[in-house]
Structure formats: structure tokens, C-alpha cells
Chains A and B, each alone.
Chain A
Amino acid sequence: MIPSLPRPAWLRAATALYVTAFLTFLFLPLIVISVFAFNNAPYPAPPWHGFTLNWFFADSSTGRVGMFHDGELMRSIGTSCQIGLWVTLLSVLVGLSNALLIERHDFRGKQLLSIMMLVPLVIPGVILGVSILAFASRIAQFASGHLHLYLRFLRPGLTLVVLGQFSYIATIATLTLRARLSRFDRTLEDAAMNLGASRMAVFRTILLPYLRPALIGSAMISFLLSFADFNTTLMLVGGNPPLTVLMYDRMHQGATPVLNAVSVFLMAASALLALALMRRGARRGTA
């Protein structure tokens, strides 16, 4: 129970034990990945053969190819970043527009529209992927059959992957931005106007700075979700796989420690990003 009520010693001990076990469960896979990224053996498996950075930096001269010399792998990271940036840009812009639409305007069918905006979250990603695949192919067929237009971007590839991920990540960006906007004190806008600000100036000097944390937050979530997406991407991917899909393929073929190295690299990047954001947050206080 809660700390203000008497808790018997066994309950405290059990709680501590459970929390420890739970954290072990959460971190065990990550620890194992990290450890075997530095193991001097061709397979990510025990026993320990000594420390090496080969799986990061080796060029083919040693017979091993580290991740930074693995062209296919590096290309896929680039692809993932490229997809992530587009998805982030689209999701945040559409999310902002949606948040303004739902929180600031009244119109017929608003209730329905705001519920529709949540629907992508409850559609399994695989189905989002195949439905967009099928629809895009229908349009492409129509364009080539009736208009003699060959729309290559409607074939599986980066454009479709971006659209597929955006179709549900936009919902999450919308929710994040709506939550912040709904807490906005509208009298701040009245006050700004009262002090002589035009509509544009109010948007630029009051609303955008207020939404800034949510804009940054939703951009970050969007990028992370895009980077990690697999289900939707798998159905729409063309010849140029992003990192998750490439890793999946290689894991099917039998993993090498290079994948561990990539994973460690990703963890470090995420941690740095998180740290940077937290320091930012601490500096700016709660605003």
C-alpha cells in the first residue's frame, strides 16, 4: 500500500525484489547486446573471447567488416534517417494543423473527425501497410491505363514507406499537440492583442513559443517511431531497405556481432538525444 500506511517488512522486501527482477528483465537483452558487440568472436554468443572494436571499425583487411565499413548497413541508416525526417516534418505540420482545427474551431462533424483522427492507432500496422500498398497500386494502374502516366513513386519504395508511417504517426503528433494546446490560456491571446499584436504576431510571439515544447517533443517521438517502425514499412519497402528491415533480414540469416554494434550505436545515439533534451528542459524550466 501507500507509504502513509503501515507496510510490513516482508512487503517492502518483496517490493524491492520485484522491482529489481523487473528491471533485470527490462535491461537484460540490452546488456547482452552491448556485451557481445565487443566480443572478439565471429558470433554473438558466449564464451567471451576478449575485447575488440572490430565490429565497429574493422575494414575488410582483417576479414571482418565493422559497421562503419559495411556499405549496405550505412546506406540503410541513411535511408532510415531520410524517411524519419520526412515523416517527422509531415506529422508535425499536419498534427499542428489538426490540433488548431480541433481545439480552436467549431464546425459540423467535429466530433466525428476528432474520433477519425484516433482510428489509425487501432489499425494494426501491417494492415495500414497492405491497404496503402493496394490503394497506391490501384491509382498507379489507373494512371498508366487511362492517362498513360507512369507514377513510379506509387510502387513500393521510400515515398510509400513515408506515407505509410505518417498515416499513424500523425495521430500521435496530433494527440501530443492537442494536449498542450488544450491547456493554453486563451486570455494570453486577448492580452497580446490588447497590447497591439496582430493575428500573425500573436501566433508567432505567443502561440508558437507556447507550443514549442510539444512541437519538439512530437518531432522527437515521430522520428523515433519512424526509425523503429517495422510492420508498416515491411509491406511498403522497395529495393532500398531502411535499417529495421535490413536488420530483420540479417537476423533471419544468422546474426553477426555487427548487428550488436549497430544496436549499441543506436542506443548511444538515443541516449545522447535524450540527454540533450533533458538538459534543455532543465535549462528552460517548466516553460
Chain B
Amino acid sequence: MNQPDLAADAVVKRYGEHVAVDSLSFAVERGSFFSILGPSGCGKTTLLRMIAGFIQPDGGEIAIGGKNMRGVAPNRRPVNMVFQQLALFPMMSVGENVEFGLARRGIGRAERRRKAEQMLERVGLAGAAGKRVDELSGGQRQRVAIARSLVLEPTLLLLDEPLGALDLKLREHMKIELKQLQAEFGTTFVYITHDQSEALVLSDRVGVMNQGRFEQLGTPQDLYYRPASAFVAGFVGDSNRVAGRAIAVDADTVEVETGEGWSVRARRHGPAAVGDAVEAFIRPEAATLGRLRNQLPPDQPAHEGVVESLLFDGAKSALLLREARSRREFRIALPQTGQFADLKPGEPIVFSFDPTRATCFTVGSDGRG
């Protein structure tokens, strides 16, 4: 990897007893889209504000574009930020918003205007310079906020949950637009969000953050298919969680038995011994459904259950069923062929899981239950 655009080395921030950011180190490659994904209160906003310079770290170093940022004021850093509520200046026109940063650099009026108009054109807002901010739609404002930052050609663009305030439909649309913008400009994006789908869709790499630390740092595929901790497995994507004890352990898999005596096999992550408390996370699409046992793969143990309800959601349709022995509820993805669309609540059904698409973690090994 060449010179990273952002490098954090053992960055710490404490608020009294509470450690908001706990000795965090990572690097973001030039031109990549990096997301920090975590639940609210995990420290991601604190981290972002430290990168922007609004908060001073208690320890560790942050380097941007190879330069150490210790003691550099927020207005002198080569980073710009798209704020959660966008923070467009309501007392200025769209054009003035985009020109704001250029004016602070002492760039002349004509040059400023030219650059701002060019930038607005690039984000698809040609001719909007004279408009007032409140005349724009949510998506247009978003683009103004991005244009306002990108016109300064920052080394790094920080985005603080910028899609949070939009409604669902627009959010989906802006996701795609953001990705295209990033590809077009080639600026390094650091994006924080609590929405796993945003992180998965947009990012080259994602850091999953919890209690001030990264649980896992990897590609979206890594997070989804090879979660490194129970937290990641639970937080990224849907999962059926099964807690129990390990009753058999081999090189690759663990067999988990629940209190009710029902058992399932899952890929082993980290060391585990027979008798350990473990939990398995099984993806909804890791299951095969059948009306008869011989419709299931022969090498997977079959389970019996009863249909609880059918959750129709187009391509994301799923089935809620209750396993006969443990009385547990499972969420199973329905095949897109529409094969089981006629199932009725109360109907008996058989199903099996692919152990390689379920992951088993030892409880307590990572400090959580």
C-alpha cells in the first residue's frame, strides 16, 4: 500500500471514566471509500470529530496525507466534512455556500464563482447557484453539501451519516449517487453510519466499531461471510442467533446444543472446547426448505417445524417458522423461484442449515455474552 490518506495510531479519547475511543489504529488508502459502522454511542462520531479537528485526542496520533495533525486547528486541516444535518448556511444562496471555503482562502470573486458553478454542474445542479437553500429538495441539498466540500479539493472527505435525515426512497437513491460521485472524483471518503446496508453497498472497506474499538476491519464481503466476532455477525446482515453449549468440536465446525436438546452445526471461529458456552449465527439464506425430507441436501441434518407466518417483501421475502423441538423461531429466506409462496401458517415443514454459512463464537472469549 502506498502512502495512506488517513492514518490513525493508537488514538484515545476519554470522557471521565467512559472511554469513547479506545486506542484505535487504522489506515485508509488513497482514493478509497472507507466506512465506520457501529451502533449509536459506539464512538464513531467522536472519532470523526477528532479527524476533523473539533475534538483533541487524549493520546495517539492522526496523520492526514502523511502529515501529523496534532495541534492543527480544524480550519487548517486538509479535510472537509458533510454534516449529519448538512449544516448548509441558511443565510446564503447555494452559490455562496459553495464559494464559502474558497472565499476563506482569499480566492478572488470571479475565480470563486467560476469554480463554484463548475462544481455545481458536476454534481448535477447547474444553474442553481442563485437559489436559496430552502428552495432545494433533500437530495439537492445533499449534493450542495458535498459540492461545498469537494470544491476545496480536500485530501479527505468526512461524511457524518449524511443520509440519516432523508426518507427511505431518497436514501436508496442517494446511496447510489454517493458511490458514483466518489468514483468520479476519486477523493478519499470516510463515511460513518449505523446503517449496515449503507456501509455494505458503498464501501471498499468497513470498520465495525463497538465500544470504542474496531471489532473487525475488512471488505463488506469479509464482514458478511466471515464475521470476526459475535457482535459483527449480529450487527451486519440478518441472522438467527442460537446460544447453547458445544457438544462436538472438530477442525472446522462446532455442534451447538440448546437447553432444549436441539442441535445445529456451524463453522468454528476461534478456539472452542466441548462444554464451552457458544453462540451460532445462521444467515436466513443458509437454510434449505422442503415439504419432505428427501428434498433437503442429504449431508445436512434435517429439522422439523411449523410455519408461523410468511413475510412477503419481494426479493427479500422470508418465512418465520417454529422449530418443533426447541420451540425456537427461525427466519428463513424464501427462494426467489416463488416455490414456497403458497405456504400457510400451521403447515408442517422441514429445513436444514449449511454449516459453512453459519458461524459459531465462544461466549466470553471477546468479553461479551
Contact = CB atoms under 8 A, between A and B. Distances in A.
User: Touching in the complex, A and B, CB below 8 A?
Assistant: yes
Interface of A: 185, 187-188, 190-198, 201, 205-206, 209-210, 212, 285-287
Contacts of A209: 91-92
B168 interface: no
A194 B73 CA distance: 9
A195 B100 contact: yes
Contacts of B92: 209
B82 to A, nearest CB: 9
A212 B134 CA distance: 18
A197 B87 contact: no
Contacts of B74: 190, 193-194
A196 B152 contact: yes
A190 B83 contact: yes
A205 to B, nearest CB: 7
A195 B80 contact: yes
Contacts of A195: 75, 80, 100-101, 104, 148-149, 152
Interface residues of B, number: 27
B87 A287 contact: no
A203 to B, nearest CB: 13
Interface string B56-84: 00000000000000000111100111011
A287 B83 contact: no
Interface centre among B73, B80, B89, B148 (most CB of A within 10 A): B89
Contacts of A196: 75-76, 101, 104-105, 152
Contact of B85 (A187, A192, A201): A187
Contacts of A212: 91
B83 A187 contact: yes
Contact of A188 (B54, B81, B84, B87): B87
Given A188-B89, A193-B73, A195-B148, 16 more contacts: A190-B83, A190-B87, A191-B81, A191-B89, A193-B75, A194-B75, A194-B149, A195-B80, A195-B101, A195-B104, A196-B75, A196-B104, A197-B104, A212-B91, A285-B134, A287-B90
A205 B104 CA distance: 10
Interface in B89-145: 89-92, 100-101, 104-105, 132, 134
B52 interface: yes
A95 B84 CA distance: 32
Contacts of B52: 190, 194
A285 B101 CA distance: 25
A191 B100 CA distance: 10
Contacts of A205: 100
A194 B51 CA distance: 11
A206 B83 CA distance: 16
A197 B100 contact: yes
Nearest to A194: B81
A192 B100 contact: yes
Nearest to A196: B104
Nearest to B98: A195
Interface centre among A193, A194, A210, A285, by most B CB within 10 Å? A194
A286 B91 CA distance: 10
21 contacts: A187-B83, A190-B52, A191-B81, A191-B83, A191-B87, A191-B88, A191-B89, A192-B100, A194-B75, A194-B80, A194-B81, A194-B149, A195-B100, A195-B104, A195-B152, A197-B101, A197-B104, A206-B91, A212-B91, A287-B91, A287-B132
